[in-house]
Amino acid sequence: ATVIDATGRYVYPGLFDAYTPLGLTEIGGIPTVNLRQEVGDFNPHMRAIVALNVDSELLGVTRANGVTNVLSTPSSGIISGQAALIHTAGWTWEDLAAKPTAAYVVNYPREPSFAFGPQPTPAQQQQARERVEQNLRDLRAMLGTAREYDRARAAGSRAFDQQYEALRPLVRREIPAIVSADSEEQIRGVLALADTFGIDVI
């Protein structure tokens, strides 16, 4: 074993932030310094690791406060992209990378809460429900097609699609999906997706 003489020193655990925009967002309200969000509902091919701002002031501040590793996560859409497990010290994104693709980030479709502001009309509530149902159908279709695409590629198909190619590790259960879900209904829906399509979810 390696013996380190810590006489007269303090030893602290390295803290871990398991879900953060660190490295992707510098100032949240300014789009040009926010690399966390992409256009479109399905971006499984977008990799947080190559979008990291290694010069971010926030990395040094976070490290100085005892956080040594974080899961840097994209957001927006239904499948936001690939989260990266990174160190908070390093000069390049290759230095920072502990696991370049640690998980896929999926936002389970849900109705807006309408907790603040004017309450929606019944017609607006119905539109919101229909939008959620359509998003769920789209998510199921995406996962189903990804599974069939993976089988075809494994069988020798040369057809290539960037989005479905990116999803192959998910449908093969090599990389899990982190799925945001709040209510019991949503959690049950996520578990049903996992059972139906044979994916691992967190």
- By C-alpha distance, which of 22, 20, 14, 17 is closest to 68? 14
Give the range among 25-39, 66-80, 127-141 with minimum mean pLDDT: 25-39
% residues pLDDT > 90 (the chain): 76
d(CA 34, CA 158): 36
Q: Is 83 exposed, middle or buried (0-12, 13-18, 19+ CB in 10 A)?
A: buried
- Which residues face 17 on adjacent strands? 70
3-state secondary structure of 8: coil
187 pLDDT above the threshold of 70: yes
pLDDT of residue 38: 61
Q: Work out the burial of residue 86: count CB atoms within 10 Å of its CB; fewer than 13 is exposed, 13-18 middle, 19 or more buried.
A: buried
Helix (H) / strand (E) containing 100: strand 97-107
Examine the pLDDT at 50 and tell me if it is beyond 80.
yes
Contact present, 26 and 61 (Cβ < 8 Å): no
> In this predicted structure, what is the pLDDT of residue 15?
95
Question: Residue 42 corresponds to which tokens in the numbers above?
Answer: 């399905």
Residues 7-20: pLDDT tens digits? 999 888 899 999 99
At 142-171, the pLDDT tens digits run 999 999 999 999 999 999 999 999 999 999
Q: Model confidence at 115, in pLDDT bands (50, 70, 90)? A: low
State whether the Cα torsion 185-19-134-120 is positive or negative.
positive
Nearest to 167 by CA among 187, 197, 196: 197
Mean pLDDT, all residues of the chain: 91
Cβ(167)–Cβ(141) below 8 Å: no
Region label for 94, one of left (φ > 0), alpha (ψ between -120 and 50) or beta (otherwise): alpha
- State the DSSP code for 27: S
**N-term to C-term CA, the chain:** 34
